[in-house]
Amino acid sequence: MKTKIIMMLMAMILGLVGIARSEIVELPLGCEGTYNQDMPYWTGDFDLEVAFTEISNVYIDWDGGITAGLAIRYADPDNPLPLGVGTYASLGFNPSLRRTTVWGGGLTYPDPESFDGMFEIELTGSSTWSDILDGEGTITIGYEELIILEGRYVESGSVVLNRGTLVVDGVVVPEPATILFFSTGSILMGVRRITSNSCCKK
């Protein structure tokens, strides 16, 4: 009987330790503000307070407005034209760059062009999410301008970010307290069932 109890309890515990659930975890970043050449980026460390066995997708859910800059062509320097600028969210290299960018402002200049949505931070090359499986990492939000081969910006644009939330879709490892709770309950139920069966056979 003791052997049967031990084997049953071990099977229950191993099963419970392996429990994992697919979950979407969201974390407001506190990155609101104006981004331009004078304030080109914001960097923050994050802790999602959960660990993952697997991460499927990572997103930035944000909204704001993009105001284009003015650029000239060297062949026609007296006629500047509106040229869009962008804002990006990056989780750095692992080993390739992981980022997403929103461009805009060129069609609405001098008024800002609004953006609002959840944009995927894409993996490129051989990059993975292995470095943030523990729920911790560093994210950078920044401002960028287009590379102009035959001209340059004569007036910088800007990006006003109203909010930014990091969204991670993955398989979450259950907390130790949760495992202990269910393990204890399963153990007590198992012992009671085996004891009851043994009594009935006598």
Q: Please, which residues have CB within 8 angstroms of residue 194's CB and are 6 or more apart in sequence?
A: 1, 4, 5, 8
Whole-number Å distance between alpha carbons of 25 and 42: 22
User: CATH 2.60.120 in the chain, residues?
Assistant: 21-173
At 50 the pLDDT is 96
Residue in the block written with tokens 């515990």: 13
Instruction: Write the pLDDT tens digit of every residue in 57-72.
Output: 999 999 999 999 999 9
Q: Find the helix packing angle between 176-201 and 2-17, rounded to 10°.
A: 150
Q: Report pTM.
A: 0.79
Chain centroid to Cα 129, Å, comes to 10
d(CA 65, CA 101): 13
End-to-end CA distance of the chain: 13
Which of 183, 181, 184, 166 has its CA nearest to residue 49?
Answer: 166
* Each residue's pLDDT tens digit, 125-161: 999 999 999 999 999 999 999 999 999 999 999 999 9
Q: Tell me: the pLDDT tens digits for 69-119?
A: 999 999 999 999 999 999 999 999 999 999 999 999 999 999 999 999 999
Domain 21-173 listed as CATH 2.60.120? yes
Q: Is the dihedral of CA 172, 178, 182, 183 positive or negative?
A: positive
What is each CA distance from 187 to 7, 11, 52, in whole angstroms?
11, 10, 26
Query: Residue 30 gets which letter from DSSP?
Result: -
